[in-house]
Amino acid sequence: MKQPERTLVKEYARKGLTLATAESCTGGLIAKRITDVPGSSAVLCGGLVTYTNEAKTALLGVDPAIFARDTEVSHACAEAMAEGARRRLGTDVGVSTTGFAGPGGGTDRDPVGTVYIGVSTAQGTRSERFCAPAGATRSGVRTAATNRALELLLEI
């Protein structure tokens, strides 16, 4: 889908839904793409770039036990981030990203290009493990993950 952020702003505004973002590896790109759309202030209440575990805990309320048990690149962390963003900003929907944009980092289980995307609503929270196309640059990983996050937001 071309420019899913335009569709998102239109649909969320029509439904009266508000959104908060919590971004790590995408560094605010989701919020940037949404705010590029005229009328986005009716939808996006705010966004937090929580790049370190300390910021995830202080700003989003992510339990530090998650980092020890599951790591910051996990379903548990993405879900806690999305819930924290929704709760802290008082919105209908929270979205989060946490992963390895590269070129360094990554693990055998979650290589560079792996991003966990969380989405939280009052009805529940879920996450998806997303893998950017092989050979994607750091910018490519961030863009692909942002595109997928926007698509997930449109699916709810």
Task: Decide: residue 129, CB within 10 A, 0-12 exposed, 13-18 middle, 19+ buried.
Answer: middle
What phi and psi, each to the nearest 5 degrees, are found at residue 57?
A: -75, -50
Average pLDDT over residues 64-90: 98
- Is the separation of the CB atoms in 153 and 132 below 8 Å? no
The Cα 132–Cα 18 span in angstroms is: 28
Q: What pLDDT is attached to residue 2? A: 82
The CA radius of gyration of the chain, in Å to the nearest whole number, is 14
Average pLDDT over residues 83-111: 97
- Is the separation of the CB atoms in 49 and 28 below 8 Å? yes
pLDDT digits (tens, 9 = 90+) for 15-24: 999 999 999 9
- Domains contained in the chain, number: 1
Structural domain of 115: 4-155
Average pLDDT over residues 29-48: 98
CATH of the domain at 89: 3.90.950.20
Residue 1, pLDDT above cutoff 80: no
The Cα 108–Cα 12 span in angstroms is: 38
Q: What pLDDT is attached to residue 135? A: 93
Q: Alpha carbon of 26 to those of 43, 54, 77, 123, 137: distances in Å?
A: 20, 17, 15, 25, 13
Averaged confidence pLDDT in the chain: 97
